[in-house]
Structure 1
Amino acid sequence: MSRAARFLSAAGLTVVLGSFAYLFYLVMTGGKLAVPGPVLAGRPLIWLTLQALTVASVVATVLTAPAWRRVRGSVPREERGRLGLLVVGGLVFIPWSLYWGLLLP
């Protein structure tokens, strides 16, 4: 498995779990008590980190797709299936992250 694929699997999962944890925190505290951590450019550093990981995950998806096409005939079927599922997950991740505002400036 390529570095981009490994990064995509780790970063994508981190962004999904981290964004839900952050949003759950905001809902539970009412979002008015205090800003969770330091703020940079009017946004909490936690949210900016999640946005940076989202952009990196999209780049990793773009880099993993050609790798999946390249190895289609040279690796076992299970490996092709894993890479294919990872690419599909990365493609589904893009509209999800747009919906939650992670890919918006």
Structure 2
Amino acid sequence: MTIRLSEETEAQLARLHDEAAKGITGLAGGVPTSVDAGEGTSDVLAIIAAVVGTADDIALVNEAAAAQVRAVGEGLGSTDGAVASGFDSMEVVVE
């Protein structure tokens, strides 16, 4: 099995995860802190709090995913470089 991750793909995946995290975090400013739901106000606010908490977790997952994509790309690139360096240093003798 061969694993390939081009620099372009790595950058795009990481960028999309970063954008998703920022998009979710950016919504936080629009979350209402009070609602007029009559007797259900406390329940509606509890639902909003649960959604905001879950959204925050999703944003953190996206941030972590972006970092991991970059780390994998860096690791694969380092491995490729080390292997190439090993081959470059070999002396080839053809008889």
Name the structure where helix makes up a greater proportion of residues.
Answer: 2
Give the TM-score taking structure 1 as reference length: 0.41
Larger RCO, structure (CA 8 Å, separation 6 or more): 2
Give the TM-score taking structure 2 as reference length: 0.43
Tell which structure's C-alpha radius of gyration is larger: 2
